[in-house]
Chain A
Amino acid sequence: MSLMSFITPSLVNSAVQSITPILLAALAGTLCGRVGVFNMAMEGQLLVGAFAAVVGSYATGSALGGVLFAIVFTVLFSLILAYGATVFKGDSVVICIGMNLLAAGLTAYLLRQMFGVSGTFSDPGIVGLTKIRIDAINTIPWIGWIFSRQTAITWLAWILTAAVTIMMFRTPLGLRMRGVGEDASAAGTMGIDVTRYRVLTVLFAGGLTGLGGAQLSLGTVSIFSEDMSAGRGWIAVVAVMLGRNHPLWAALACVLFGVADALSVRLQSQGLPNQLTDIVPYVVTLLALALSHRKRLKRRATETITAHA
């Protein structure tokens, strides 16, 4: 079988879709990392966002309502990390573990209490996000499948990636944020309110991840199922590590995972058991992590993220 028939246009389209939540979560992770807050609660934040999006869409009857719910509730949920890791000086790793479990428990509990179902909630009342058709390019092979038929959130995710990169490295605000992360006491001496920067960044990052959650539940399927983030938040954590808190490199890592994800879908349609194809993205993630650290090791003996974590 030739490569071209193996990778179909619709496969590319679904790959781009599946990258979006991971990309938004990774973007959130880089922002937090830059101001010196280690965020590994994205798994839980995506879940809260996905759930709130379904609730909002079901209640208001519009996808926009769902997206707004997702953003608002994920920001509220992120208050725990925003204040816990800064003002209250808690261990961010422990806080994030707690948040991930709280998100899993809370969404499962509310799913049962609000909709009376366990497992998966699907209802015609949940309005999904519309795919934007760009008529000018819709019929062009490949290009049409990559750029057309995508949700607004996917577009926004890539625009935000560019915007965050420019903001981070080309504006005074970004300079201050990086200063807060690199040397908080020096930044404080320069008159920057370190705590305020950290709290606001974590909350903004929560909004981004909430948006990713909305894409997860309203982008392709319009359902919520328990634990539907299914490790995407953790993959985003790895993307942040691989990209070393640089949004563009993290985005590149996300594309790698998207390709791996699409590959697993494709392998499954070739008749391989889904238990095996499902693990492809994680194996690719682990390999990428191993390779990147091997290379890094050659340059410098011990630059440990764990010391930071």
Chain B
Amino acid sequence: MSERSVRAFRFPRIPAVPLAIGIGILIGGLLVLASGGDPIAAYREILIGALAPQNWPNTLNWAVPLVGMTLVAALPLRGGMVNLGGDGQLVIGGLVAALAALYLPLPGPLLIAASILCAMVASGLYASLAAWGETRFGIPMLISTLLLSYPVIGIASYLVGFPLRDMATGLAQTRMIPDAARLPVISGPLNIGLILMIVVAAAVVFYDRRTVGGYELRMRGLNAKFAGYGGVRLAAQQVRVMFASGAIAGLVGAILVLGSLYRYQDGALLTPGYTWSGLMAALLAGGAPLGAIAAGLFFAGLQTGGFAMQRETAIPRVLTMILQSVIILFLAIRHGVGRKSS
């Protein structure tokens, strides 16, 4: 197939993202149809599950960690870097937050603040390790971020399975954190984690648009050599950006542990797949923070809708994961969405 014939097939008038979402819905629908389900009913349940007013709190509650992990991926992506280590960073954040809440002798609000801070610093340092490995030794961060997650997840799993295990229950989890360390509830499932996340999201958008650092990061994304020639210290920038990215993942872990789980539970932070959905949302927007936040909200709606669909129609909710990846694949293939590699 020559390039010319491909060009002829383009539909330039339909914006790329809605087209990709349409294609995703179409392919997902065909898949449901092929496996003997009713796609219309499936999508109706997703819509109701995500957008009916009584379901807003659930959708928002799901969106907090997902948008958080979107920012984790979007920040490095803005500079053309890929952070595949969200899982490990999330686990470190969650575990450190739980341990700080259990063992630091501090009163109420101070304990919450200290736990969150410890989680963010620990995850940030851990994430910047991969960046340092690339700048100092040339170990590609693309693969090291991912590979580092496996030992971290294993060690965390060991820690809560053996030395830190709550002996009162049969599960691999820590003891419950004290009431004083729990995030105050706003209403229903929503806690002040939501507000923290809004603040962080606003900070990332502000950093991207209004600060020298944000400008330099965007320059790096457009052309790293040019940014380096223009005086940006690329190595230091990379370590800094990864620290920030990891710190946000640590915050997400802390919000989940202090806000809804009230303990560190083996696997509980990872099974929802926030990391990968967040990465896909960030890719959908090409790393632009506002777009990424919107995409994160969209995917959060899709996933909470997926729970409703599974409940009402018995179609597995993993369908939503297929939809997300089809959307990303379509965008990557047809519209060059992704890192602007020079």
Contacts and interface: CB of A to CB of B under 8 A. Distances in A.
Contact of B333 (A90, A282, A294): A90
Interface stretch (B141-149, B182-190, B195-203, B247-255): B141-149
Given A275-B154, A276-B155, A276-B158, A294 B137 contact: yes
A285 B276 contact: no
Identify the interface centre among B279, B337, B341: most chain A CB within 10 Å of its CB. B341
B148 to A, nearest CB: 7
Interface in A58-112: 80, 83-84, 87-91, 93-95, 97-99, 101-102, 104-106, 108-110, 112
Contact of B316 (A84, A109, A282, A302): A109
B280 interface: yes
B140 A84 contact: no
Interface of B: 1, 3, 6, 31, 35-37, 82, 84, 133-134, 137-144, 146-148, 150-151, 154-155, 157-158, 161-162, 276, 279-280, 283, 316, 318-319, 321-322, 324-326, 328-329, 332-334, 336-339, 341
Interface stretch (A8-16, A234-242, A246-254): A234-242
9 contacts: A87-B3, A87-B6, A94-B283, A114-B35, A275-B158, A276-B158, A290-B133, A302-B138, A303-B138
Contact of B147 (A105, A289, A304): A289
B336 A91 contact: yes
A22 B122 CA distance: 33
Nearest to B151: A279
A306 B141 contact: yes
Nearest to A110: B35
B147 A93 contact: no
Given A94-B337, A101-B276, A293-B138, A275 B329 contact: no
A234 B78 CA distance: 24
Given A97-B279, A275-B157, A88 B334 contact: yes
A234 B138 contact: no
Nearest to A285: B147
Nearest to A109: B318
A55 B141 CA distance: 36
A293 B137 contact: yes
Contacts of A109: 31, 35, 316, 318-319, 322
B1 A241 contact: no
Place the interface of chain A in its size category: 35 or more
Contacts of A87: 1, 3, 6
Contact of A112 (B31, B316, B337, B339): B316
B143 A84 contact: no
Contacts of A7: none
Identify the interface centre among B31, B35, B328, B333: most chain A CB within 10 Å of its CB. B333
A88 B154 contact: no
Contacts of A113: 35-37, 316
A186 interface: no
